Amino acid sequence: MNATSDYYSDPSFTILKVPTWRAHFYKFLSIDIWGNLPGNFQRKVSAWYSSFYDKPVSKKIIRPYIRLNYSDKNYLEKFKPPYGKTNFESFQDFFIREFKSLPKNESPYVWPCEGLLCDADTVHDLNLVQIKSDTRSVATVFGLKEGQIPKDYTFTNVFLHNKNYHRIHSPINGTISRIQHVPGDLVVLRPWIYKENPSLPAFRNERYNIDVIDDNGRTWYISIIGGPAVGTIELSENINVGNKVKRLQELSLFYLGSTCCMAAPVSPKNHTKNTFVEVGIPY
């Protein structure tokens, strides 16, 4: 499967065709075994696992990883190390790489991230999800009550594979009206093991919710969701309630693993479920 644009990134990856029985088994391990462990324990294990990628020796993985995962062998030339560094000093530096330049177009709405669009539907048509003993609506993802998001809004879920660019950007010009941290689990994010509901982890995992009001007074709801091996989700500089953001201004970054959900007053014009999207291209 390929991306739907000729932009300079390389968001596509192999989507595993997992047999139903195996998907159910993986889901059982993720939800019923790992997901029932205490959240603090999940985070400690994830932090321990991810700590290797902060070590200088891990930078030796970068070149082989690029050869294995990207069709463009000069892929790294499009990026720069984070925090003003002159070199990638660890694999984590590569993981949170920055584009040297972001795309330029006239579209008022753009995708905030890159990855697989694994879910896309109106809020009205989305199914309720059973989490342990609770029934939850899509508003739960964004830390809201049912009915607070208009039913004609479009819900999208972009799964970010390990190979994807892991910074999240504002899809619009607007003003931040709410920031919320939701503690939760860190269950596996891979959408192909949740065949009935690829967005299931978004309803229960740890996340940051950011609401942005556009120039027409409409609220765009963005949820930045962590998964196993996520060291942390870090909000970017000047991302505070009341601050204005520009289209493509960085909102946050992930230290390993992630999904980004959005509830928007308009529907994607160029993408459908199970296609790849890229940061900054027209929504």
At residue 29, the pLDDT reads 93
CA distance 261 to 155: 7
- What's the chain's Rg over C-alpha atoms? 18
Is the distance from CB of 76 to CB of 93 less than 8 angstroms? no
Q: Residue 112: its pLDDT value, please?
A: 96
This prediction's pTM: 0.92
Please tell me the predicted confidence (pLDDT) of residue 84: 93
SS3 11: coil
pLDDT at residue number 2: 45
Per-residue model confidence (pLDDT) at position 229: 73
Q: pLDDT digit string (tens) for 183-202?
A: 888 899 899 999 878 898 89
Would you state the pLDDT for residue 23? 92
pLDDT recorded at residue 221: 97
Half-sphere exposure of 80 (CA within 13 A, CB side): 9
The residues of the chain scoring below 50 in pLDDT are: 1-4
Q: Which two tokens stand for residue 182?
A: 């939701």
Give the pLDDT confidence of 47-83 residue by residue, as tens digits. 888 889 999 999 999 999 999 999 888 899 999 999 9
What is the predicted pLDDT for the residue at 1?
41
Listed in sequence order, the residues at least 6 apart from 178 whose beta carbon sits closer than 8 Å to its beta carbon are 209, 210, 211, 241
Cβ-Cβ contacts under 8 Å for 191 (sequence gap 6 or more): 116, 118, 119, 157, 159, 198, 199
Burial class (CB in 10 A: 0-12, 13-18, 19+), 83: exposed
